């Protein structure tokens, strides 16, 4: 028996890439899977149920159970059908994997409202919509696992991704609130920042030698490496794990820290503008994060 025997898992964006590998492994581990994918382009245009159905066909060919759902997670009504299909077809829902995403990378001064809204809608609103739909079932049964996909673009930073970075860091805040609010109901919520070569990471700029090297590193990191941690977090073996942020980079698994105070100063008489400039700034300057640091600088070494 697999680690997910008897479980029902919904995976968004499961027609291709990381989501597809997650769906395949969850099915292999015994779960019935709702394979959701709008089937649009990497920028969120168009729709095609074909990729989702192909993943379903592969699961069934291997002896697993799965159904396809072509709804957009950005649409609250469509997102709800993902959970409704799970309950209607398989009788319950045990885990939600919020993986669906698009990219509309633009340097900040060229980012349009349309590009901002489109990315926020799919990533942040999509996570909210699908999670909200599953919550009543999780609460009633006293169990459930949310697994949301964040990114080091939000946790650390990256060029030309203000919309994506904001959405991905927002997902961390959403996950944290769900974990706190739903703990009494036995519901868990965690985040994963994945490193994997896919059609989305294929859009990473590669004009400088450093960027080219980063892309080559990404090409060595296959999407299937992300799936085991997802399946674990969906399983009963992760019953004690909630409100955490993980990362997966080829054969490495990371546990990320959360923002916490690292330096402090106190003045009994209170602070002035001048004392902040003359006393506080010199004292904490050495602990400042590099203002130009991005994800590739922190993870600048070859994946293991």
Return all residues near 286 (Cβ < 8 A) that are at least 6 apart: none
| Residue (of 190, 161, 27, 7) closest to 95 by Cα position | 7
Tokens representing 214? 């980063």
Counting Cα atoms < 13 Å in the Cβ hemisphere of 169 gives: 14
| Residue (of 138, 101, 140) closest to 7 by Cα position | 138
Cα–Cα distance for residue pair 294/205, rounded to 1 Å: 14
H helices of 68-161, in order, are 76-90, 113-120, 126-141, 152-155
Which residue of the set 164, 218, 246, 299 is catalytic? 164
Specify whether 301 is catalytic: no
Cα–Cα distance for residue pair 238/277, rounded to 1 Å: 47
Cα 300 to chain centroid, rounded: 21
| Dihedral pair phi/psi, residue 118, rounded to 5° | -60, -45
3-state secondary structure at position 263: coil
Cα–Cα distance for residue pair 251/221, rounded to 1 Å: 9
| Residue (of 69, 55, 66, 57) closest to 19 by Cα position | 55
Tokens representing 258? 């959360």
Measured at the CA of 259, the angle between CA 237 and CA 170, to 5 degrees, comes to 75
* Residue tagged 């992300």 (tokens): 226
Q: Which residues are catalytic, by number? A: 164
């Amino acid at each position: 028996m697999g680690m997910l025997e008897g479980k029902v898992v919904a995976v968004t964006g499961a027609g291709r890439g990381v989501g597809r590998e997650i769906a395949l492994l969850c099915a292999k581990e015994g779960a019935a899977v709702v394979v959701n994918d709008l089937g649009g382009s990497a920028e969120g245009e168009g729709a095609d149920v074909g990729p989702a159905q192909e993943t379903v066909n592969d699961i069934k060919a291997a002896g697993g159970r799965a159904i396809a759902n072509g709804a957009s997670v950005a649409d609250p009504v469509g997102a709800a059908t993902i959970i409704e299909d799970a309950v209607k077809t398989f009788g319950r829902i045990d885990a939600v994997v919020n993986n669906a995403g698009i990219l509309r990378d633009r340097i900040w001064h060229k980012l349009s409202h349309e590009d901002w809204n489109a990315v926020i809608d799919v990533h942040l609103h999509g996570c909210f919509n699908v999670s909200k739909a599953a919550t009543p079932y999780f609460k009633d049964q006293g169990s459930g696992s949310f697994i949301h996909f964040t990114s080091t673009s939000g946790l650390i930073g990256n060029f030309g991704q203000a919309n994506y970075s904001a959405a991905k860091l927002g997902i961390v805040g959403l996950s944290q609130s769900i974990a706190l609010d739903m703990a009494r109901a036995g519901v868990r919520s965690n985040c994963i920042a994945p490193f994997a070569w896919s059609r989305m990471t294929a859009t990473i700029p590669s004009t400088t030698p450093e960027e080219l090297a980063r892309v080559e590193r990404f090409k060595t990191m296959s999407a299937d490496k992300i799936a085991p941690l997802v399946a674990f977090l969906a399983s009963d073996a992760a019953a004690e794990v909630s409100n955490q942020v993980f990362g997966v980079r080829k054969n490495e698994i990371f546990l990320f820290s959360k923002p916490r105070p690292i330096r402090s100063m106190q003045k009994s008489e209170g602070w002035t503008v001048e004392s902040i400039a003359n006393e506080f700034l010199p004292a904490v300057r050495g602990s400042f994060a590099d203002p130009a640091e991005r994800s590739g600088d922190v993870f600048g070494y070859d994946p293991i």
